[in-house]
Structure 1
Amino acid sequence: MSAHSDLNGAVEALQGKLQSLNDLVRANQFMVEAMAGQGDALKQMSSGRTKDMLRRQARAQFHPDTGAAPDAAVLAILEEVLGHQEESAEIIPFPVRA
C-alpha cells in the first residue's frame, strides 16, 4: 500500500509542477502577444506607463471574477512581474532545473 501512496504523491507533485509550468507559459504568451501586437506603442511609453497598461490588460483578461479568461494564478504571475520597478517588462524566465 505504501508504494501506491508514494506513487500517488509523486503524481500529485508532478501535476502541481505541470500546472505551474502551464501558468508560466500562459503568462509568457500574454507578454509575447502584447509585445508583438503593441510593441511600437509600448516602446514609445515610459517603463512605468508600459507596465501599468500591461497590468490593466492582464487584469481584463485574467481577473478571476471579471476577466475574459479568468485565471488567478496567471494574473498573480503577471502582477508580480509587472509590479517590479525594473526598467523593462520582459519575458518571464522559467525556473532553473534543480
Structure 2
Amino acid sequence: MKETAPEKLALLYERFKDVCLVEKEVWHEIFLPRDAAKGVILTSRQDRYEVVINDQEVEAALEANIPLGTNALAAAIQQYRDHISFIKKG
C-alpha cells in the first residue's frame, strides 16, 4: 500500500535521508518504528517500506548528493519528492 499520509511521509523522507547517508548509497528499503510520532518508541516493532524512485536520473541525482552531506541530500529529496514513493510491505 502506497503511503500518502503527510505526517508519515515526512518521517519516511527523513528516515530515507538518514539511511542513505549512513549506507553511502540510495537505499531501496527502509524500516520505520511503528508509532514513531508518539512518545516512547518500541524499536522491536517496525514497518518495512520499499522505496520507489520512478526516474533513473532522479536516483542518480540523489546518489550524487549523498557525499555532499545532510543539507544537500535533504534539498535533493525535497526537490524530487514527486518521484519518490514509499510502499508499505506486510
If you compute each CA radius of gyration, which structure gives the higher value, 1 or 2? 1
| TM-score > 0.5 by shorter chain | no
TM-score band by shorter chain is: 0.3 to 0.5
Say which structure is richer in strand.
Answer: 2
Q: What is the TM-score when the length of structure 2 is the normalising length? A: 0.37
Q: Which of structures 1 and 2 has the larger relative contact order (alpha carbons within 8 angstroms, sep 6+)?
A: 2
Q: Which has the higher helix share?
A: 1
TM-score (norm 1): 0.35
